[in-house]
Chains A and B, each alone.
Chain A
């Protein structure tokens, strides 16, 4: 089933067009990797899918009951969060905010969901720790647990491994892969092209070259060959 269908999207801000004529779709259980040069509009595309900003043109169709509150999001970390006094449990629980409705406090189910997701990502023993005292990898797990509290259907990850050391990066990829195996659709922005290609099922390349298709097709495509080669030079 197609959960997300984007047709002829045009992205950008008032005077600046970042990307044009983007058409692609995402199946249930898919693992889509969005790659492209800096400034190609990857984050803008993600913000548009999340309905944080409007596309300049084109349409996005949401199926499978993907209302605004049913997409989990792992944003890039902000400066504000660096020394924010919040416990891991408080941060994870805030992922349930879409189920608050008109209530003042979180329901028992919401609290259970928070505990379950901390268990799932192996951070239960950190529940009372302060978010600011955690390592980069632990912080990403906390934010991932929070995103899982918001959805069981689709996760949007904005460069989830940036700033992490190689070992932790691998762990993070394995974790995301495990969640995908459990049936959660993954849409991920990545700079780490070599690794993304290893895990992803589909690739969306935006920028100078456009590509949308399976990973195998991407490797032989003009955009992919050039980009993958460039990626290898860095390693």
Chain B
């Protein structure tokens, strides 16, 4: 009897050791460690701003911008830049500011403008990639840009450094402007009436969102960026009731999901972007159930 019980236990143990060994061997490569660090930082940034984006009803701007980033990425590839962010970052920031402006003047026109810019950018991007192929595998390139790397994300060293620096700047800005962001998100008219510079804050929010989308595109691809931004915020809002607890919870959920997603994608050999997003979806379901139970 005893040997029968010990056998499966021992084989599970052996399985765990193999998994740990696999992970250790993977983490001996610097690019895997970079991927993990960058992934966690991006997840942190996107969840923080995601809360504001969702509450400000700006989700659609995030979606539109990710398509713009795709188009910019294609241009960067055609031009032959090794550090593509040098081009995608400014283009996306400019579009973010433009979208914010048109969106503020009239709601309907803003919506149409976003649809126009985002679909246009997709079409131009795809056309460019086909006209000026940078490798023999065009559909593979397109797929990677849209859905993220097939395996672990591969970044050049300067891209890693840029990602880390930008993420840290975003987190610092978020903390520094936390109270003002809350004020301008909860009630823009009141904030403006008591002398808060709401236009400047909105501009800052749009710029940070653009930066996050360009960063996050490396991790999960341009079509899945919105998920990374929106899911943790929505999950946290199901469970918590104050702005501060929602923000903290969203950050924790996002970081944990990114870690799990990246590790699972290494072990199971799945695309890293969709694995992270599926982990986020699972977290959302769990939070919805907890929210229902809490009432």
Residues on A facing B (Cβ under 8 Å)? 47, 50-52, 67-69, 71-73, 75, 78, 80-81, 84-87, 90-91, 94-95, 97-98, 100, 104-106, 128-130, 132-133, 146-147, 150, 156
Contacts and interface: CB of A to CB of B under 8 A. Distances in A.
Contact of B246 (A81, A85, A105): A85
Contacts of B237: 85
Given A80-B57, A104-B175, A130-B242, A94 B195 contact: no
Contacts of B176: 104
Given A94-B179, A97-B196, A73 B190 contact: yes
The B interface, classified by DSSP as helix, strand, loop or mixed, is helix
Nearest to A89: B242
B242 A87 contact: yes
A106 B240 CA distance: 23
A114 to B, nearest CB: 12
Contacts of A50: 192-193
Interface string B165-206: 000000000011011101101110111111110000000000
Given A73-B189, A75-B189, A84-B186, A90 B244 contact: yes
A97 B182 CA distance: 10
A68 B244 CA distance: 28
Contacts of A106: 179
A140 B17 CA distance: 60
B73 to A, nearest CB: 33
Contacts of B195: 67-69, 98
Interface in B232-262: 237, 240-246
B241 A104 contact: no
A78 B189 CA distance: 10
A85 B243 contact: yes
Interface string B33-69: 0000000000000000000000111000000000000
Contacts of A51: 193
26 contacts: A52-B193, A67-B195, A68-B195, A73-B190, A78-B189, A80-B55, A80-B57, A80-B185, A81-B187, A85-B237, A85-B240, A86-B182, A86-B242, A86-B243, A90-B182, A90-B243, A94-B183, A94-B186, A94-B190, A95-B190, A97-B183, A98-B194, A98-B195, A100-B179, A132-B241, A133-B241
A50 B57 CA distance: 25
Given A68-B195, A75-B190, A85-B242, A97 B57 contact: no
A180 to B, nearest CB: 20
A71 B244 contact: no
Contacts of A78: 187, 189
B141 to A, nearest CB: 40
**Max chain A CB contacts within 10 Å: which of B182, B237, B242, B244?**
B242
Contacts of B183: 94, 97
B295 to A, nearest CB: 10
Contacts of A80: 55-57, 185-186
Contact of A105 (B179, B190, B194, B243): B179
The 7 closest A-B pairs by CB, nearest first: A130-B241, A69-B195, A87-B242, A73-B193, A68-B195, A50-B193, A98-B194
Given A68-B195, A97-B180, A90 B189 contact: no
B114 to A, nearest CB: 19
Given A73-B194, A87-B241, A98-B195, A81 B186 contact: yes
A90 B187 contact: no
Nearest to A149: B194
Contacts of B180: 97, 100
A97 B243 contact: no
Nearest to A50: B193
Contacts of A90: 182, 242-244
Given A68-B194, A73-B190, 15 more contacts: A68-B193, A68-B195, A73-B194, A75-B190, A80-B55, A80-B56, A81-B187, A85-B55, A87-B243, A94-B179, A94-B183, A95-B190, A98-B194, A130-B241, A130-B242
Contacts of A91: 186
**Max chain B CB contacts within 10 Å: which of A52, A67, A85, A133?**
A85
